[in-house]
Structures are given as structure tokens and as C-alpha cells.
């Protein structure tokens, strides 16, 4: 017996490399895992490199490939634009899509600077009021079941005292590694700060339910010149002949105060030899500690007073009672990094059908952007800075000056 045909959301994807693949994987699989969502229609994928867009289309089932993202935004048969490009394009594509009445999923960080992020939130607000368009920012780490459990544990664990978070990578240790868009401020906005610490800031604010309101930071660029990449994708690249100036930070460290009292210590770097992709966060409350490491994504380390049986225990977050797990496999059958993108697609598709605003939305992305801005101001001034609800104070300055 055939059931009624439910119409899936029609998706257009911009960007066909690292995140383009991760998001394609999610759109292609979300309805197979989560029976409550209709299968999205993979209408078209766009990339500057038409060949790569066509290759991705063939692999994941996108109907068409395009070279110009504007063609996607203009199409009446696309409901949602998924922005997987470098930060320099986030605002232009997102605002155009929202003004065309489309839902938007935009990769993190929301923008390359505060002014752009403020404009994106204004466009999102208008589109929400006019047509109920979703505007979601791709902080996928929120969607690990272990992170949901961490938030639950902390909600009944007394006063929060410490947030300790680091995001360590090592793909820039080799000075011969070429200069990609990620090392160019005009393309990426900032370096380890916007790319890596933005995840930490969002996670910390999400898990604690508190906003960061002041910061004291340092930023460092260790290798100032590199050969410009001839080709790149994600964190891989091949070198060209020309030398270019690195205009972003290689590493950043900052301390912070949160609204209701906890203190934070954050570090993000691309020079932590041996650490390929180590995102760790630990929160200490008076009655519990929780710890998460993205390289062990199914585990949450928990400490709670327990009548003489205290100690750090490692909880395998794979029970049906844990977030998202009902739809997956029997307990103990573990998930990976890519599943967080499927969860992101699921939450967004459900929000679209139910008309409920999906978080983190562009306003959440803007709050993170305000913290990024304060961190930059602090590094430059060598002083504490408040996270302000104001326009940015920085222009295209060179770091370490």
C-alpha cells in the first residue's frame, strides 16, 4: 500500500569541497535514518569549479551542477540554500537567499566580521517575519548526543565555575604547507580564531546557557609567508610558485568571564603537533564535571558525588534515551563526526515543517561573532575587552603589530 507522498524540502548547495561533501552526505541520508522527515530533494550544487560540482552531483545525487550561485538563488524550485563557501561569501549569498524567501543554512563562523553578521541577522529577521524562513548557522558540534547529555547533566549540578576548551590542529606546522584561503584575512576573516575558536565559543555558551561578556586574549602568527596554493580543498593543498603574506592568526588563547560567574580558558591553534582535530571542552560545576573530546565522540566523561563511589566515569552515549540515538543502532553501536551533520539536517527539516525557529540561528551566530570581535580587540590592545553590542572597531589590520 502506498502512503501519501510527502513533499521534501528542495535544496541548493553552494560549495562542493570539504563541507560541500559533509552536507551532501547529510542531505542524502537524513531521511533514511530519521523516518519523521521527508526526503529532501537535492536540486542543484554550485561551485566555482564546475567539474567538481558535477563530480559531487554524480556521487550524491544532485540533479544539476552550476557555476554561479546566483542561478540557484533565482530558481523557484529551490526552498533552501546551503552555504558551504569561504566566509567572504557567507553574507552575500545568505542575504540574497533570504531576500528571495528561501531558508538558509550557513556554515560557521557566520561572517568575516561584525558588520556583515549584523546585516545577516537583519535579513534573517525580515525573512522570518515575512515567510517563516529559517536562518541557521552550522555549529554542528552542538548536535553530538554527548554534548546534549553534558548540557542535561549541568542543568542540575549547581553553580558553574569553569569552562576549559581547546581546539588543536597541526596542519600548518610544516612551513612549506601552502597558503590557502584560510590564511587570507579577506577570505576567512581570521584564522584559528574564527575557524576553530568559534566552535568553542558557541559550545561553551550553549552548554552553560550563559553568554561570554568579557575577554583577555593573545593572537600569534608563527609563519608570516607561504607559497600560494595552486589548488586546495578543506585542509589539503598543493603549492604554487608565488609567495603570499599570511594575514590571519595561527594560534589564539583567551580567558573570559561568563554572565553568571563562571570563568573560561580557551585555546585554538593549527600548530599543535600530533593533534589532528582535537576539540575538547570541560565544564566544572559545584556538583558535577563533564568532559567531551571530539576524537572520542560517543563518550562523555562525568564526575558526580556518589556516596563513596565518586570518580570520573566514561558514559557511552549510545542508549536510546540519548539525543538522536533512538533513530540509530542498538546501544553500543557507535556514531562518528559525520553524523552530527545528519542531525543538523534533521533538526532543520523538522523546524521548517513545524514552523519553529531552529537554533543556533543567525542571532546566535552574531553573538559568537561579537566574542570573536572582542578577542581581536583585546589581542590588539593587550587589554580586557567587553563583548559589545556595537559595530566593530577593527578594519583590515595586520596581526602581531
Ligand X SMILES: NC(=O)c1ccc[n+]([C@@H]2O[C@H](COP(=O)([O-])OP(=O)(O)OC[C@H]3O[C@@H](n4cnc5c(N)ncnc54)[C@H](O)[C@@H]3O)[C@@H](O)[C@H]2O)c1
> What is the helix (H) or strand (E) element at residue 293, kind and residue range?
strand 288-293
Phi, psi angle pair for 367, to nearest 5°: -60, -40
Measured CA to CA in angstroms, residue 67 lies from 135, 160, 195, 231, 277 at distances of 23, 49, 25, 17, 31
Residues 290-309 that bind ligand X (CB under 6 A): none
Between residue 224 and residue 283, which ones bind ligand X under the rule CB under 6 A? 232-234
Q: Is 92 in the site for ligand X (CB under 6 A)?
A: no
Q: What track of x and - describes contact with ligand X for positions 187 through 206 (by CB under 6 A)?
A: --------x-----------
Assess 20 for contact with ligand X (CB under 6 A).
Answer: yes
The residues near 382 (Cβ < 8 Å, ≥ 6 apart) are none
Touching ligand X, residues 61-90 (CB under 6 A) = 69, 84-87, 89
**Pairing, β 385-386 against β 212-220:** antiparallel
Q: For residue 360, state whether it binds ligand X (rule: CB under 6 A).
A: no
Within 10 Å of residue 391's Cβ, how many Cβ atoms?
10
CB-nearer residue toward ligand X: 132 or 234: 234
How near is the Cβ of 347 to ligand X at its closest, in Å? Answer: 14
Grid cell at residue 212? 561570554
Q: Which is nearer to ligand X, 14 or 368 (CB)?
A: 14
User: Which phi and psi angles does 92 have, rounded to 5°?
Assistant: -60, -45
The residue within the footprint of ligand X, chosen from 107, 116, 184, 202 (CB under 6 A), is 107
Beta-bridge partner residues of 1: none
Interface with ligand X includes 17 (CB under 6 A)? yes
Inter-residue contact 314 to 324 (CB < 8 Å): no
Cβ at position 235, least distance to ligand X in Å: 7
Does 184 help bind ligand X (rule: CB under 6 A)? Answer: no
Q: 125 burial class (0-12, 13-18, 19+ CB within 10 angstroms)? A: middle
- Give the one residue of 8, 18, 277, 380 binding ligand X; rule: CB under 6 A: 18
Out of 48, 296, 357, 380, the only residue in the binding site for ligand X (CB under 6 A) is: 48
Dist CA 45 CA 121 (whole Å):
25
- Residue 138 sits in the site that holds ligand X (CB under 6 A): yes
| Residue 11 interacts with ligand X (CB under 6 A): yes or no | no
Residues that bind ligand X (CB under 6 A): 14-20, 46-49, 69, 84-87, 89, 107-108, 138, 140, 195, 232-234
Amino acid at each position: 500500500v502506498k502512503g501519501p507522498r510527502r513533499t521534501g524540502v528542495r535544496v541548493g548547495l553552494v560549495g562542493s569541497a570539504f563541507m560541500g561533501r559533509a552536507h551532501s552526505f547529510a542531505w542524502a541520508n537524513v531521511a533514511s535514518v530519521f523516518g519523521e522527515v521527508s526526503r529532501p530533494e537535492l536540486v542543484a550544487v554550485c561551485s566555482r569549479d564546475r567539474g567538481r560540482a558535477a563530480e559531487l552531483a554524480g556521487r550524491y545525487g544532485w540533479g544539476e551542477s552550476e557555476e554561479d550561485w546566483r542561478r540557484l538563488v533565482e530558481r523557484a524550485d529551490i526552498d533552501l540554500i546551503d552555504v558551504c563557501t569561504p566566509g567572504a561569501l557567507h553574507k552575500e549569498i545568505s542575504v540574497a537567499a533570504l531576500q528571495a524567501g528561501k531558508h538558509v543554512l550557513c556554515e560557521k563562523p557566520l561572517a568575516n566580521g561584525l558588520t556583515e553578521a549584523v546585516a545577516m541577522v537583519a535579513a534573517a529577521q525580515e525573512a522570518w517575519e515575512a515567510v517563516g524562513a529559517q536562518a541557521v548557522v552550522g555549529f554542528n558540534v552542538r548536535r553530538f548526543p554527548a554534548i546534549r547529555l553534558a548540557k542535561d547533566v549541568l542543568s542540575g549540578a549547581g553553580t558553574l565555575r569553569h569552562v576549559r576548551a581547546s581546539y588543536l590542529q597541526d596542519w600548518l606546522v610544516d612551513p612549506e604547507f601552502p597558503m590557502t584561503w584560510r590564511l587570507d584575512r579577506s577570505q576567512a576573516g581570521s584564522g584559528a580564531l574564527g575557524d576553530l575558536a568559534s566552535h568553542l565559543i558557541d559550545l561553551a555558551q550553549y552548554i552553560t546557557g550563559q553568554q561570554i561578556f568579557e575577554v583577555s586574549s593573545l593572537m600569534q602568527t608563527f609563519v608570516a609567508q607561504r607559497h600560494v596554493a595552486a589548488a586546495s580543498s578543506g585542509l589539503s593543498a598543493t603549492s604554487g610558485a608565488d609567495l603570499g603574506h599570511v594575514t590571519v592568526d595561527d594560534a589564539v588563547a583567551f580567558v573570559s568571564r561568563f554572565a553568571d560567574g563562571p570563568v573560561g580558558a580557551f585555546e585554538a591553534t593549527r600548530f599543535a603537533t600530533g593533534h589532528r582535530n582535537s576539540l575538547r571542552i570541560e565544564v566544572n560545576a559545584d556538583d558535577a564535571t563533564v568532559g567531551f573530546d571530539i576524537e572520542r565522540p560517543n563518550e562523555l566523561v562525568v564526575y558526580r558525588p556518589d556516596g563513596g563511589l565518586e570518580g570520573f566515569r566514561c558514559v557511552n552515549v549510545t542508549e536510546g534515551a540519548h539525543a538522536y540515538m533512538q533513530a540509530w543502532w542498538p546501544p553500543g553501536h557507535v556514531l562518528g563526526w559525520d553524523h552530527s551533520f545528519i542531525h543538523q539536517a534533521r533538526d532543520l527539516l523538522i523546524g521548517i515543517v513545524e514552523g519553529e525557529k531552529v537554533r543556533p540561528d543567525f542571532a546566535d551566530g552574531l553573538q559568537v561573532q561579537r566574542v570573536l570581535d572582542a578577542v581581536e580587540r583585546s589581542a590588539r590592545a593587550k587589554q580586557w575587552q567587553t563583548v559589545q553590542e556595537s559595530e566593530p572597531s577593527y578594519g583590515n589590520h595586520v596581526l602581531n603589530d
